Structure 1
Amino acid sequence: MTTQTLTQTGTRANEGFVAIAVAAMLGLGLVFLAGFSPASALHNAAHDFRHTQNFPCH
C-alpha cells in the first residue's frame, strides 16, 4: 500500500493577495466612478452618502 502526501506551496498567501488586489480594484473603481461621473445624480448621491458617514470630502 502506498501513501501520497500533498504539499501546499504558498497557495494561501497567493489567494490572500489576489483577494486583496481584487477588493482594492473594485473599491477604487467605485470611488472613481462616483467621483468622476458626468451624471450629477450619481455624483450627488455619492457625495451625500459620504456626508452621512462623516467622511470629509471638501
Structure 2
Amino acid sequence: MVKKVSGFPASHHIRQRVVPEVRRQAPYSGASMKEIARQLGFDDLAHFSKFRYD
C-alpha cells in the first residue's frame, strides 16, 4: 500500500528517517551502537547491523 501511494517501498521511507539519525548520533552522542539501535526501535542488534546505510 505504501508503495502504491508514494511510489517507494516502506523500507525506503524507514531508511529516510533512520539513516540521518544514526549518522547524527553515532559520532557525537557517546552512545554505543547498541544504545543507538535501541533508541531507534531496533530490538535486534543483528538486524540493525545488517541495515543498509547507503
TM bin (shorter chain)? 0.3 to 0.5
Normalization by structure 1: what TM-score?
A: 0.35
Specify the structure having the higher radius of gyration (Cα). 1
Question: Which structure is higher in RCO with an 8 Å CA cutoff and minimum separation 6?
Answer: 2
